[in-house]
Amino acid sequence: MPQTPLAERIRPKTLDQFQGQQNLVAKGKPLKLMIENDMVSSFILWGPPGTGKTTLAKIISESTNSDFYQLNAVSAGVKEVRTVIETAKINKNSFHKRTILFIDEIHRFNKAQQDALLSAVESGLIILIGATTENPSFEVIPALRSRARIYVLEELTKKDLDQIIDFALSNDELLKELQFDEIDKDYLIYASGGDARILLNILESAVMQQTGREKVLLNKTVITNVVQQRNVNYDKNGEEHYNIISAFIKSLRGSDPDAALYWMARMLEGGEDPKFIA
């Protein structure tokens, strides 16, 4: 079985493969024009998990002639930022190349870490792309916000998620070799809470559990079993914790009481503090 997760294996490399966010990437829209013309300026992508923030940044990395660097604010700090800035100076002065720095989860940077970016972003030495699930008005310092446009990513629609399933089944080297006896897309989408990453994780887990079968089932029973097993591994301080919270919040925003109750039950069964949920 592949070591790389399905979500990473089928991550779109071009806008033509990208699903959702037509407010930003449809014909004539700002990000599409930026990417097609390779004229990227500093911006921050703000949206829920699993809506395409990191994927959009990686599409830019595949298409731009600029040097592209990526940091994750969880593990990086001022030292890593300064290293990229020094490299950007060499790129500019010696090779006349621009430098793009993508910082995932930029809201995890504190004020001092964000301050370290200001001069380079203001001078144009660094083109900053930030990704965050938190409101930049509260989590990104004003001086940095004023130097970067804010693009809001919307929750993926059922149609978007349906097309992501189709893309995975027809493009992943493992999945396209399998025969499927039944695929309940609607329930798979429901169980994902609208998060594309969770959707693909459930899909992959369901397939892996049926290794060796002549035909693979993706019905409600199989999907429910996978989701329940994921719940056993619920870690109140880990990634699954944040994935389930995200799905719960999306259900509330979408006025879907059944889904909201489902995700709340998963948190409670996993040992989450009811006060946290409230």
Give the DSSP letter of residue 156.
P
What's the pTM value of the predicted model, to 2 decimals?
Answer: 0.80
Judgement on whether residues 137 and 199 belong to the same structural domain of the protein: no
Number of domains in the chain: 2
Residue 13 lies in a domain: no
Helix ranges (H only) for the chain are 6-9, 22-25, 30-37, 53-63, 78-95, 111-123, 136-139, 142-145, 158-171, 185-192, 196-208, 220-232, 239-253, 257-269, 274-277
Boundary residue ending a domain (152, 169, 191) = 152
Residue 184 has pLDDT above 50, yes or no: yes
Across the chain, mean pLDDT equals: 89
pLDDT at res. 116: 96
Boundary residue ending a domain (92, 119, 152) = 152
What mean pLDDT is predicted for residues 144-152? 96
Judgement on whether residues 100 and 202 belong to the same structural domain of the protein: no
Residue 9 lies in a domain: no
Alpha carbons 129 and 43: distance in angstroms, whole number: 5
Residue type, 67: D
Judgement on whether residues 167 and 255 belong to the same structural domain of the protein: yes
pLDDT in tens, 12-43: 999 999 999 999 999 999 999 999 999 999 99
Range of the domain at 33: 21-152
List the strands of the sheet with 99-104, edge to edge: 67-72, 99-104, 127-132, 43-46, 149-152
Tokens, residue 65? 């002639």
Closest C-alpha among 237, 234, 243 to residue 191: 243
What mean pLDDT is predicted for residues 193-199? 89
Boundary residue ending a domain (152, 179, 206) = 152
CATH of the domain at 43: 3.40.50.300
Alpha carbons 45 and 68: distance in angstroms, whole number: 17
Residue type, 68: F
pLDDT at res. 194: 85
Binned at pLDDT 50, 70 and 90, residue 129 comes out as very high
Binned at pLDDT 50, 70 and 90, residue 3 comes out as confident
Judgement on whether residues 143 and 162 belong to the same structural domain of the protein: no
